[in-house]
């Protein structure tokens, strides 16, 4: 019995040491991002792209030697090193799922919800904030569930590329506080919020968005009691009860300041975003009144929007579903000053 007690005590000490060590490592990573990476890497590589010569940060070129850098977007000139590096934030592949009755965290945690017939899958923010990308399959369709904590951008994409199905990973780089993803098939770099390829084989192409809803876990319980939620049994040692970014999404501070700020709305207000032709439309998420039907016209097309029981529907003139995603105001505004339009239901 005495030996068992000593062994148990030793195991606990090792676990405590591991937890303290990993927590310290995470804090050091965030500190590095905060204090060391606010400015672009001074070492740059001049790259002649199909558009024009760009200055790509050295850290990005070194991290992706297999990327076709002959095709690159000018925005990469201002790419920042987020700190953890390529795959330093580990994406999840083929995640495990649990029933809702196993959920241990608060009921107000937001979650990306995807339905396939009678099957409902739930990807909660407390998991996504640590991993940012979950590669999964829903209804036979390979998808990437993506979330960027620094700009609140939640988007789901089809993982099928012209040359095959790929998983996606976190590059470690940011543009205007938005994650740059990469596909493991070609190491093309993709803007997470827009799904547009910034450099590589698929330069200039866009990923296909997948429809989803954004609900709290309590909302999921009420509407989809038989839904399955991504398990905390991820294979990684993370405290999924804690947000490593603290109160970032509710305060006025930035870790990486945007190049400009549109002051029409508070910077971190969450907007619903969808695209009609080449026009990006943003709508304040909390401005919808429940059950009310809103209509607007974009490029000569009539668009209908309705939020009911916490879920949003966006339809075109042919009553076809228009996929949308979510993003903080500052992040959308900094990219869409030229091609963007705001529709505010509270002002209708």
pLDDT above 80: residue 11: no
Residue 148's pLDDT is what? 99
Cα(first)–Cα(last) distance of the chain, in Å? 73
The whole-number average pLDDT for the span 47-68 is: 78
Which residue, of 208, 230, 252, is where some domain finishes? Answer: 230
Whether the CB-CB separation of 51 and 73 falls below 8 Å is answered with yes
Same domain for 214 and 98, yes or no, is yes
pTM for the predicted model, two decimal places: 0.86
3 state SS of 3: helix
- pLDDT, tens digit, for every residue of 224-252? 999 999 999 999 999 999 999 999 999 99
pLDDT above 50: residue 31: no
Residues β-bridged to residue 25: none
Same domain for 56 and 195, yes or no, is yes
Count CB neighbours of 28 within 10 A. 11
The whole-number average pLDDT for the span 97-124 is: 97
- Please state, in angstroms and rounded to a whole number, the distance separating the CA atoms of residues 319 and 304: 8
Number of domains in the chain: 2
Residue 52's pLDDT is what? 52
When pLDDT is cut at 50, 70 and 90, the band that residue 135 belongs to is very high
Residue 311 Ramachandran class (φ > 0 left, ψ -120 to 50 alpha, else beta)? beta
Same domain for 226 and 299, yes or no, is no
Residue 348's pLDDT is what? 81
- pLDDT, tens digit, for every residue of 285-311? 999 999 999 999 999 999 999 999 999
When pLDDT is cut at 50, 70 and 90, the band that residue 56 belongs to is confident
Same domain for 95 and 214, yes or no, is yes
pLDDT above 80: residue 1: no
List the domain range (segments joined by +) for residue 291: 270-347
Residue 321 lies in a domain: yes
Residue 53's pLDDT is what? 55
């Amino acid at each position: 019995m005495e030996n068992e007690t000593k062994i148990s005590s030793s195991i606990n000490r090792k676990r405590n040491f591991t937890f303290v060590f990993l927590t310290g490592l995470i804090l050091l990573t965030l500190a590095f991002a905060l204090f060391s990476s606010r400015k672009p890497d001074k070492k740059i590589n001049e790259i002649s792209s199909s558009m024009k010569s760009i200055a790509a940060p050295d850290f990005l070129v070194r991290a992706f030697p297999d990327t076709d850098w002959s095709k690159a977007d000018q925005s990469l000139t201002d790419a920042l090193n987020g700190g953890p590096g390529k795959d330093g934030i580990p994406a999840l592949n083929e995640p495990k799922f649990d029933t809702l009755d196993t959920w241990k965290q608060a009921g107000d945690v937001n979650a990306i919800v995807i339905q396939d017939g009678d099957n409902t899958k739930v990807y909660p923010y407390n998991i996504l904030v640590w991993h940012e990308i979950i590669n999964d399959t829903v209804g036979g369709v390979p998808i990437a569930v993506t979330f960027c904590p620094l700009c609140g951008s939640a988007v789901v994409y089809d993982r099928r590329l012209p040359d095959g199905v790929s998983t996606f990973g976190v590059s470690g780089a940011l543009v205007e506080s938005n994650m740059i993803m990469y596909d493991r098939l070609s190491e093309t770099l993709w803007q997470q919020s827009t799904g547009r390829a910034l450099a590589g084989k698929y330069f200039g192409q866009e990923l296909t968005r997948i429809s989803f809803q954004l609900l709290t876990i309590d909302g999921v319980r009420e509407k989809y009691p038989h839904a399955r939620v991504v398990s905390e049994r991820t294979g990684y040692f993370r405290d999924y009860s804690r947000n490593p970014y603290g109160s970032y999404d509710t305060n006025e501070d930035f870790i990486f300041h945007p190049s400009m700020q549109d002051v029409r709305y508070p910077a971190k207000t969450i907007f619903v975003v969808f695209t009609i032709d080449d026009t990006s439309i943003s709508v304040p998420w909390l401005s919808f009144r429940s059950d009310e039907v809103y209509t607007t016209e974009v490029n000569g097309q009539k668009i209908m929007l309705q939020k009911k029981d916490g879920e949003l529907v966006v339809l075109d003139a042919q009553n076809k579903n228009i996929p949308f995603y979510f993003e903080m105001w500052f992040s959308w505004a900094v990219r869409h000053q030229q091609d963007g339009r705001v529709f505010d239901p509270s002002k209708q």
